Structure 1
């Protein structure tokens, strides 16, 4: 006995004290719910309420369990107390009460609660369900139900359109629409949250942070805003504030599917993979979601980040089975061997798409360097481009500007025009952006900050410092760019423009007379190809441009003499000696 007592005494320091608080009992309740042990879940929710009697969420969860157990009267008593004493703005409680009354066959009371929900709720979270219940009441009451002014529908349609724009990667259009909605209805928090996301996707972090803080000022416990705030704080490197917020999110166990998904993805982005994995596993228990390959991918990323490699492989195999036409699960399964051995790190993103670098590699190796249609439409790819345009290094920005020129829609034009006004961006990158804008059909005057000054680039002008831009110079450029379109990428075409502008600038005002634009265009293409180490001959370009070999050769030698192309190339490639007569 004495030995045992000493062992117990000696082992006391190894005992870990359990912190009994509302979060502890909330977690126990959620686990019981996952196992359909409603009696235990109710007991734990009651304990959570005892620890935090003023927290309406705990009361609401307890009411939900009571409703599942058929105790509708008691459930409504708690819901009524929430609305009267704890949180009158939790309008969803009216909807829950209507359900309870309907189950009690008290249809008049159900109608009253449902009308109140429709007239007071701004978000429209249960709008479809409420309309279905109205149809049931019509049948049970044997009369048309009372007409309600549906508050959420006032902005719901417009908000749905804005969300659709976000999902399509049309961030600029979404921002315009959401800004107008927030201006009209400052209390529309869902619109503010989506506006913050739109700013985030575009790389406008300061604006996103402001929009998020405005939501939290109105509703400090708004989960979507708390998750957004955590992402912004991570980006800003505010570690102290982020740690406190992450600790709060770790203790959060949302009930609704949408909230669980938001929290899971946020925790994954924050590197809280254990928490992300736990929430994603909860979602996979929902039968409705078990056919979604994205969810298996999210679970797999969390698992591989936790070194649960076999589990990750199983999940990616299931994603591939559900989405056989996608390269995404197969790509990550191929990477898994390198991740296991430590040669490659785990995926840095939870998004269901290929890594940004892999997207670029596919694009650059595709025939003609064209951007595949599915990449043009992918909102995550588009978001990556907008991010990189603002926050990437010079080489990445150059790649992105070229890629945006291949997408060439209104969003791209807006993004590139905004880029021209950024005072801290390099002038050379802005001139390439102007060239891209002109190439994709933007011919009107453009505002840009160049050489530290805001200036107007006149309509149809290409980016140059020449005081004039003659129509015959433009003809040369258009003759070259038209023929080069399918065979040269955007940067190579811009280099041709730069070469032509440099040649004219060094000679100005004693510039050559242009008798045949095609001959000069052929010479420019020949030199541009040589600068990029491409195989080309005078005979080839002369034939394609309908001019003579001798004329192309003469113009090429003149441009080389003025711009010293051969000399510049030899400084990089000593053996270079390719600008010569045929």
Structure 2
């Protein structure tokens, strides 16, 4: 390895030694890329290639820079060299070449490169993007593309389904499908990367690490694997290991949009907001990214966290038309000046600030932790804003959070919410349910059914029996922590409906726990929560026969199974067989 030394002619002066190797020039190139100085970055990478002529990563970076500069021919020459002279297994180069040809309007050549990618790539990393390009090329060529073989089609479809399950939060089913997939295709690294994430989401750090280690053993430079490893290091407080890996990630300059996004988001999560900003800015060259509210929001967060406040606000303003369903951008715009004055950073989550803390608050709902949250101005402001201005899911989570906080300010906010004529009656009733659970005494003045009233009447019931309330309390107490606030609230709604329909022939109430267990069973069933009579019998201390009996009584009065039989047939048969 060649080294260059600079020394002083004066022997008394300190000697400055400068080691010049491939890594030295690579780091220089990365710094230039951060500053968008592509010409200098290219020169440094070419020097790095002189030291490591068989390292395909440097060649890929060179090809990427040529493409960024619009020199697509030269980019393809480099990509061809990688395939023919350096590493023939890097079949993704055909996909990059197809992109370059498409940018030059050489659609026949783009088609040829794309078909070669489909026929030779075993993993199908870019199959989803390939489908979009096929549609584009078919339009430009005015004919369908003749695709003879797709080497990774079957495995891609299975992996894509498992990935969607992961994105939707169905971690258990995603794990099952991914485990089955890698059993058939043990070298499918993309599946192993997603499996690592699924394991992490369910708290199985050991299996997560095992999956990541397999990926990196097979491909030491796998970007998704390295990013996943960094997140695990952060969560497990492996400070030294994280510092070393972070230095490695800072030197990476990905070629493809998916890799740029993964690295940008990871660096942002790790607190490297300046570098995250530059990578997200690169993404914004894509029309697809400009129309994606997730990309835009993360770019705005990176801009805000790196003190580029004007850029952040501009991005959130552009997001308003894309974000009308979630209202996240609207919150940041409405409170922008106050947020800037707080001098804080925000996490890379597409939610309102208070929503990031809900799980943490649920896990640490002790008084000293609650005080910390109630003194957080941004947390409390976004909580109130979400309740009055957010979408339906924001409102539910806000009410749930106020139930956890139990503070006077939250109680007062819920009472104000009851009087807002623009809010839905359902959520006002949910707020009343929470106020009661917090020990607040009636009456509750509310604007329900467009009428200002004092505590909504319980249907046709002339009075409210203490035992009836005890049954609700027993059910909710047993369901707390295992069901969300909507499901707990539905217990009360169902019980009131049953009593109202049965009145004046309300059954004799004896074993309170049996009725409470029956309520939980029905609510669990209606919300697709897995539960059995045996579990309820153990939890409530009553026989299965008693619970089944009360369930049938409520069904006879309310016609519950008839209402859902079109969706869930043979429910009554299930009850009888269980």
TM-score range normalised by the length of the shorter chain: 0.5 to 0.7
CA distance in 2, matches of 1:98, 1:405: 52
Cα–Cα, structure 1 residues 302 and 86, in superposed 2: closer, same or farther, change >3 Å? same
Classify the secondary structure of the residue corresponding to 2:349: coil
1:214-268 deviation per Cα after TM superposition (whole angstroms, max 9, x unaligned):
2111111111111111111111111110111111111212121111111111111
Classify the secondary structure of the residue corresponding to 1:441: helix
Q: Which residue of 1 aligns with 2:346?
A: 347
CA distance in 2, matches of 1:433, 1:211: 42
Cα–Cα, structure 1 residues 104 and 347, in superposed 2: closer, same or farther, change >3 Å? closer
CA contact (8 A) 1:402 1:436 kept: no
Bigger shift: 226-235 or 44-53? 44-53
Q: Which residue of 2 aligns with 1:87?
A: 87
CA contact (8 A) 2:300 2:313 kept: yes
Q: Is structure 2 residue 368 aligned with structure 1 residue 368?
A: no
Q: Is structure 2 residue 116 aligned with structure 1 residue 128?
A: no
Q: Which residue of 1 aligns with 2:539?
A: 464
CA contact (8 A) 2:122 2:151 kept: yes
Q: Is structure 2 residue 440 aligned with structure 1 residue 440?
A: no
Alignment of 1:315-464 (within 5 A): 315-342=315-342, 345-353=344-352, 355-356=354-355, 357=358, 358=383, 359=394, 360-363=397-400, 366-369=427-430, 398-399=480-481, 401-403=483-485, 405=487, 439-441=523-525, 459=534, 461-464=536-539
Classify the secondary structure of the residue corresponding to 1:298: helix
CA distance in 1, matches of 2:90, 2:192: 18
CA distance in 2, matches of 1:200, 1:268: 19
CA distance in 2, matches of 1:105, 1:299: 33
CA contact (8 A) 2:100 2:110 kept: no
Classify the secondary structure of the residue corresponding to 2:525: coil
CA distance in 2, matches of 1:277, 1:137: 35
- Displacement of 1:355: 3.4
- Displacement of 1:278: 1.9
1:3-43 deviation per Cα after TM superposition (whole angstroms, max 9, x unaligned):
xxxxxxxxx99x9x99952122144257547xxx6x66643
CA contact (8 A) 2:284 2:290 kept: yes
Q: Which residue of 2 aligns with 1:119?
A: 120
CA distance in 2, matches of 1:18, 1:87: 28
CA distance in 2, matches of 1:462, 1:77: 72
Q: Which residue of 1 aligns with 2:290?
A: 290
CA distance in 2, matches of 1:78, 1:471: 75
CA contact (8 A) 1:320 1:329 kept: yes
Q: Which runs of 5+ in 2 are unaligned?
A: 1-12, 359-382, 384-393, 404-413, 415-426, 432-476, 491-515, 559-578
1:173-228 deviation per Cα after TM superposition (whole angstroms, max 9, x unaligned):
22221111111111111111111222223333332222222211111111111111
- Displacement of 1:445: 13
Alignment of 1:169-568 (within 5 A): 169-342=169-342, 345-353=344-352, 355-356=354-355, 357=358, 358=383, 359=394, 360-363=397-400, 366-369=427-430, 398-399=480-481, 401-403=483-485, 405=487, 439-441=523-525, 459=534, 461-464=536-539, 466=541, 469=543, 471-472=545-546, 475=549
Cα–Cα, structure 1 residues 269 and 252, in superposed 2: closer, same or farther, change >3 Å? same
CA distance in 2, matches of 1:75, 1:160: 30
CA contact (8 A) 2:518 2:547 kept: no
Classify the secondary structure of the residue corresponding to 1:462: helix
Q: Which residue of 1 aligns with 2:26?
A: 22
CA distance in 1, matches of 2:315, 2:140: 44
CA distance in 2, matches of 1:170, 1:464: 27
Cα–Cα, structure 1 residues 250 and 116, in superposed 2: closer, same or farther, change >3 Å? closer
Cα–Cα, structure 1 residues 480 and 47, in superposed 2: closer, same or farther, change >3 Å? same
Bigger shift: 196-205 or 124-133? 124-133
CA distance in 2, matches of 1:322, 1:404: 28
- Displacement of 1:406: 7.0
1:381-410 deviation per Cα after TM superposition (whole angstroms, max 9, x unaligned):
xxxxxxxxxxxxxx9x955643595799xx
Please provide the CA RMSD for this pair: 4.8
- Displacement of 1:352: 4.4
CA distance in 2, matches of 1:304, 1:139: 45
Q: Which residue of 2 aligns with 1:501?
A: none
- Displacement of 1:89: 2.2
CA distance in 2, matches of 1:47, 1:186: 37
Cα–Cα, structure 1 residues 473 and 151, in superposed 2: closer, same or farther, change >3 Å? closer
- Displacement of 1:284: 2.3
TM-score under structure 2 normalisation?
0.57
Classify the secondary structure of the residue corresponding to 2:245: helix
1:390-449 deviation per Cα after TM superposition (whole angstroms, max 9, x unaligned):
xxxxx9x955643595799xxxxxxxxxxxxxxxxxxxxxxx9999677412999999xx
CA contact (8 A) 2:120 2:151 kept: yes
Cα–Cα, structure 1 residues 361 and 63, in superposed 2: closer, same or farther, change >3 Å? closer
CA distance in 2, matches of 1:288, 1:26: 26
CA contact (8 A) 2:533 2:547 kept: no
Classify the secondary structure of the residue corresponding to 2:151: coil
CA contact (8 A) 1:445 1:458 kept: no
TM-score under structure 1 normalisation?
0.57
CA contact (8 A) 1:296 1:319 kept: yes
Cα–Cα, structure 1 residues 156 and 269, in superposed 2: closer, same or farther, change >3 Å? same
Cα–Cα, structure 1 residues 85 and 316, in superposed 2: closer, same or farther, change >3 Å? same
Classify the secondary structure of the residue corresponding to 1:49: helix
CA distance in 2, matches of 1:71, 1:319: 32
The number of residues matched between the two structures is: 405
Cα–Cα, structure 1 residues 92 and 437, in superposed 2: closer, same or farther, change >3 Å? farther
